[in-house]
A = this chain, B = another copy of it.
Amino acid sequence: MNTPDPSLIASMPLFADFDREALAEFLGLGQSRLVVRSQHVFSQDQEAEAFYLLLDGYVRIELVRPNGEVVIVRFASTGELMGIAPALGRDTYPANSVAVVDCVVLGWPCSVWADTVRRYPSFATAASQTIGTRLQEAHDRIAEMATAQVEQRIASALLRLANQSGRKTSDGILIDFPISRQDLSEMTGTTLHTVSRTLSAWERRNIVRSGRKRIEILSGHQLLLIAEGRT
């Protein structure tokens, strides 16, 4: 498991203007790695040796504050770039990246970044837009944290998860990876107690159905109303 099948990733916008040889060459520079559940892909403040493409699975990107409290920045899913410290002009990782299911990642030494960006405009553009989108989302979340009540924030977080990693079921949308009340509280800046109470209340209203590390959205519509503050 050293060089993955090019066809898996040839279709990504990131590699739009790589020809077959270029892609093969580029993939040859990387190394794939299996990361089992709850292990780190990389860790905050660790020297950034490589940047990664998530080939399969889900990882949690989390920030650890000086006092030890953990905040979840986002969940990344298959196909996303992670740990692109070189693009940010950093030489350490700004966050932890933790596998929430067994994952496969493809990693390249940071030293190849500059050259790749220079040679392949599609790569540079796609990477830039990825960062741009994340910045946008981060600003939206700041605004949300600043103005919205806890219940609204939990609803927004669930909707975001559903959009990004939802799997359609017969009754609604299931978040496609194990996620605990604690996780949700770390995404929204509240406590697992409040998340639990909120989900229980929603369960009574048939808005969600949830279990141990499992959440299914039955009424995205209701959830949207809650998120927008007109309950």
* Most B Cβ at <10 Å: residue of A73, A117, A142, A186: A142
* Most B Cβ at <10 Å: residue of A90, A95, A135, A228: A135
Decide yes or no whether A40 CB sits under 8 A from chain B: no
| Cβ contacts A112-144/B at 8 Å (1 or 0 each) | 000001100100110011011111101111111
- Shortest distance between the CB of A138 and any CB in chain B (Å): 4
Q: Is the interface of A mostly helix, strand, loop or mixed?
A: helix
Our pick among B88, B129, B143 for the contact of A135 (Cβ within 8 Å) is: B88
Our pick among B66, B88, B144, B188 for the contact of A132 (Cβ within 8 Å) is: B88
Decide yes or no whether A94 CB sits under 8 A from chain B: yes
* Pair B135/A71 contact, Cβ less than 8 Å: no
- Shortest distance between the CB of A143 and any CB in chain B (Å): 4
When chains A and B are docked, how far (Å) is the Cα of A65 from the Cα of B131?
Answer: 22
Decide yes or no whether A12 CB sits under 8 A from chain B: no
Decide yes or no whether A189 CB sits under 8 A from chain B: yes
- Shortest distance between the CB of A153 and any CB in chain B (Å): 10
* Pair A128/B89 contact, Cβ less than 8 Å: yes
Q: What is the size, in residues, of chain A's interface with B at 8 Å between Cβ atoms?
A: 41
| Cβ contacts A184-195/B at 8 Å (1 or 0 each) | 001011000000
Q: How many copies does the complex hold?
A: 2
Decide yes or no whether A69 CB sits under 8 A from chain B: yes
* Pair A145/B145 contact, Cβ less than 8 Å: yes
* Pair A189/B136 contact, Cβ less than 8 Å: no
- Shortest distance between the CB of A82 and any CB in chain B (Å): 13
Residue of B nearest to A88 (CB): B132
Decide yes or no whether A169 CB sits under 8 A from chain B: no
* A118 neighbours in B (Cβ, 8 Å): 121
* A1 neighbours in B (Cβ, 8 Å): none
* A188 neighbours in B (Cβ, 8 Å): 146
When chains A and B are docked, how far (Å) is the Cα of A116 from the Cα of B143?
Answer: 32
Decide yes or no whether A87 CB sits under 8 A from chain B: yes
A-B CB proximity, top 6 nearest: A88-B132, A146-B189, A138-B138, A89-B129, A145-B145, A71-B143
